[in-house]
Amino acid sequence: MAARALLLASLVLSCFLLPACYGTVLFSSLQRTLEVTASPTSGQVLKGGVDKITVTWGLNQTVAAGTDSTYKTIKVKLCYAPISQVDRGWRKTVDNLKKDRTCQHKIVARPYNAANSTAQSHEWTVERDVPTATYFVRAYAYDADEKVVAYGQTTDARKTTNLFRVQAISGRHVTMDTCSICFSVFSVVSLFGFFYNEKRKAKRPQ
């Protein structure tokens, strides 16, 4: 009985100590096997809701044959660069991917095409709710169990190269601004017209 209790306690403890027991994946454990490129040039500023990004991904041709045998899905995401994570805990990078907040904006998810592993791409319009910040693009490869097994990104390991910015929309619309200006001009003209008519009335002989 005591031996059974000890075994059960050991299993429970091991599940807390070993991430694999409960499906946790550490970013540091992943291999960078995907080549990922994006259309923005380094330092380019994109406007939310207007500009587009073309992302291309594929298997790095230097890896061993069969490396991608477990890849079933590719998920591409827009990720915060370190400069836009400072003093922003809600964007914090954590090695545990379940807790990581680096890549919060989904670009696309597609089945992995092993027959065309060198050239897959997607054009994405930067969404209007993407915050103003500096970004890079990362792609994750998932297996049949929806577990991350590999990755690739448009920047270096320190996330300092090939970064671009997104300028969020202000919340104002051009049509609304135009109407506001027209209304203001109309109000001023009407006010002058009112005073002019009042002045003419005052000058008329009684």
Say which CATH architecture domain 23-168 belongs to: Sandwich (2.60)
73-102: pLDDT as tens digits: 999 999 999 999 999 999 999 999 999 999
Q: Average pLDDT in the 8-25 region?
A: 53
Question: Tell me, what's the pLDDT at 133?
Answer: 98
What are the residue ranges spanned by the domains of the chain?
A: 23-168
Among 86-100, 124-138, 159-173, where is mean pLDDT lowest? 159-173
Question: Tell me, what's the pLDDT at 114?
Answer: 87
pTM of the model: 0.74
Looking from the CA of 145 toward its CB, the CA atoms found within 13 Å total 8
20-69: pLDDT as tens digits: 444 699 999 999 999 999 999 999 999 999 999 999 999 999 999 999 99
CB 166: neighbour CB atoms within 10 A?
23
167-205: pLDDT as tens digits: 998 654 444 455 455 455 556 556 656 555 666 666 655
Q: Of 127 and 177, which is predicted with more confidence?
A: 127
Q: How confident is the model at residue 127 (pLDDT cuts 50, 70, 90)?
A: very high
Q: What are phi and psi of 140, to 5 degrees?
A: -110, 140
> Does pLDDT of 154 surpass 80?
yes
Question: Tell me, what's the pLDDT at 117?
Answer: 80
Exposure b/e, 34-63, CB count within 10 A at least 16 = b: bbbebbbeeeeebebeebebebbbbbbeee
Give yes or no for a contact between 141 and 150, defined as CB atoms under 8 angstroms apart.
yes
Q: Average pLDDT in the 148-154 region?
A: 98
> Does pLDDT of 159 surpass 90?
yes
Residue 30 class from Cβ within 10 Å (0-12 exposed, 13-18 middle, 19+ buried)? middle
